[in-house]
Amino acid sequence: MQKRISKKEVNDRLVSDKFFSRGNLILKLRQSILTLLGWGGVIFPFIWLQFPFIYPEKAKKNEFFCLFRRNSNL
């Protein structure tokens, strides 16, 4: 016959997390916002690189200009 486990034993064995417990709305909002910003930082460079291929007309308007100074001391 299997031994019955009480709720207290289950709570003692399992790891508790503040994110999944009731309340803690500020913690959930903060971690959700930081997670979305983090994923945005991962995905944004790929979108940035694909932009000229998908919209070549708009990419020409938003072209970056690099200015180089010539060193006259050489």
* pLDDT, position 72: 65
> How many CB atoms neighbour CB 20 within 10 A?
8
Residue 10 has pLDDT above 70, yes or no: yes
Predicted TM-score (pTM) of this structure: 0.57
Across the range 54-69, mean pLDDT stands at: 72
Per-residue model confidence (pLDDT) at position 46: 92
31 Cβ neighbours under 8 A, 6+ residues apart? 19
Residue 65: its pLDDT value, please?
60
For residue 52, CA distances in Å to 45, 61, 74 come to 12, 10, 37
Question: How far is the C-alpha of 24 from the C-alpha of 17, rounded, in Å?
Answer: 11
Indicate the SS3 state at residue 65: coil
Q: What is the pLDDT of residues 16-60, one digit of tens each?
A: 788 888 888 999 999 999 999 999 999 999 988 888 888 888 777
Domain-by-domain residue ranges, the chain?
7-61
